[in-house]
Amino acid sequence: MPYITADDGAQIFYKDWGVSGSPVLLSHGWPLNSDAWEATALFLAQHGHRAVAHDRRGHGRSSQTWSGNEMDTYADDLACMIDALDLRDLTLVGHSTGGGEIVRYVGRHGTGRVAGLALVSAVPPLMLRTDDNPDGLPVEVFDEIRAGELANRAQLYRDLADGPFFGHNRNGDVPQGFRDAFWLQGMASGHRGAYECIAAFSATDFRPDLAKIDVPTLVVHGDDDQIVPIEVGGRRSVELIDGAELKVYEGSSHALPDTDRDRLHADLLAFIDR
């Protein structure tokens, strides 16, 4: 199985599909892993691109480290992988927490290898309500997720899958397979890594990172996202990224790589091939 070694010795698992064309790196959400991007990676590879997707540390097949479960280290792990694979003219695509990861990568490592960014249902600029971010979500929302992670994470992941993540609580039409895959990937994460990642995706302030983005950026967000509301995420990010384009998926949930797969694939391909 392919791995790269991070600066602290952690082993980061990755998939590398396709043999030609410009590379695309796909960064997954919490508490998932690179399997969440398989359909997109296959689509992009079939359409002439090199699709790379990794398991974030503490998730999937990567090392379950005790430390480093925060955005700076996630971004540095990404830098190690991009350098090791010598990826250039790269499009970074991040879903949910993965959107934060790729934005923090740009903030720490610049855009020398990057041709563009696509933020899908992404957590930037800042999910947590603070004095200077009054429209964010109250800390109690994330405390409840932390409590669920500690008390019975298997049930937490089931409740998220059957409820707000896919929007199944709205009309009950999300296929069982999508929901089962979410639960299975969640249970493959490490307990400590998944717990600490809650703070990483909710309390990290990405506003300084967004200000450093100087490449074309596509922001895609559903206007019925119950995990990262569009007014907290997508709309605010577009205001802070010079020249960013916003595509709103009307009535769509957080899980766009599954629930809106065909539309998202078309939009990503058009953006990458622009």
Catalytic status, residue 96: yes
**Which is catalytic among the residues 96, 121, 189, 252?**
96
Tell me how crowded residue 44 is: count the other CB atoms within 10 A of its CB: 28
Known catalytic residue at 221: no
DSSP summary character for residue 56: P
Active-site residue, selected from the candidate residues 62, 209, 254, 260: 254
| Three-class SS state of 247 | strand
Phi, psi of 16 (to 5 degrees): -135, 100
> 191-203 and 139-162 are packed helices; what angle lies between their axes, rounded to 10 degrees?
120
| Residues 228, 121 contacting (CB under 8 angstroms) | yes
Token readout for 120 is 């899908």
Q: Within 13 Å of residue 241, how many CA atoms lie on the same side as its CB?
A: 29
Helix (H, G, I), strand (E, B) or coil at 51: strand
Alpha-helix runs per DSSP H in the chain:
38-46, 71-84, 97-109, 139-162, 168-171, 176-187, 191-203, 207-210, 234-240, 256-259, 261-272
d(CA 29, CA 27): 7
Give, as one character, the DSSP assignment of residue 50.
E
- The residue annotated as part of the active site, out of 35, 77, 225, 260, is 225
Find out whether 144 and 152 touch, Cβ atoms under 8 Å. Answer: no
Q: Which residue has the tokens 């503490």?
A: 58
| Contact present, 84 and 77 (Cβ < 8 Å) | no
Residues with active-site annotation: 96, 225, 254
